[in-house]
Amino acid sequence: MARLSKSRFARYIRTFHFLGNAPGDTEDAFTDVGAIFPKIVEEIIADLTRFPNLETVQIEFEMDFDSDWEEGFMLFQDTESPEEREQAEQKEAWRALNTNVYKALARNIDPKFTKLHLIDLIPAEASAFSTVQFQTLLCNLTSFELSCWTSDGGDYSANTRLGYVMFLDKLDSLFFDHLSSLTDLIIDARDLPVSFRSYQLAESQRLNRTRIPLLKNIHLTSLFITRGLIYLMATQAHCLEKVHLEDCHAGRAYVGDDISCWWDDLFDAIADKNPNKLYEFDVFPSSGFELFDDYHSSRAEKEEAARALVTLQESPHLRLFSYSYIDDKYGFVGSIEESNLASFRVGKDQRAYDRLCRIVAQNARKKAVTGDHTS
Angle between helices 299-314 and 337-346 (to 10 degrees): 50
Strand, helix or coil for residue 49: helix
pTM attached to this predicted model: 0.89
Q: Which sequence spans correspond to the domains of the chain?
A: 2-370
pLDDT tens for the chain, 375 residues long, are 667 777 788 899 999 999 999 876 555 567 788 888 999 999 999 999 999 999 999 999 988 776 656 667 788 888 999 999 999 999 889 999 999 999 999 999 989 999 999 999 999 999 999 999 999 999 999 999 999 887 755 566 777 788 888 888 788 889 998 999 999 999 998 755 453 333 333 344 444 455 789 999 999 988 888 887 888 899 999 999 999 999 888 886 545 556 778 999 999 999 999 999 999 999 987 666 788 888 788 899 999 999 999 998 899 889 989 898 877 777 778 888 888 999 999 999 999 999 999 999 999 999 999 876 554
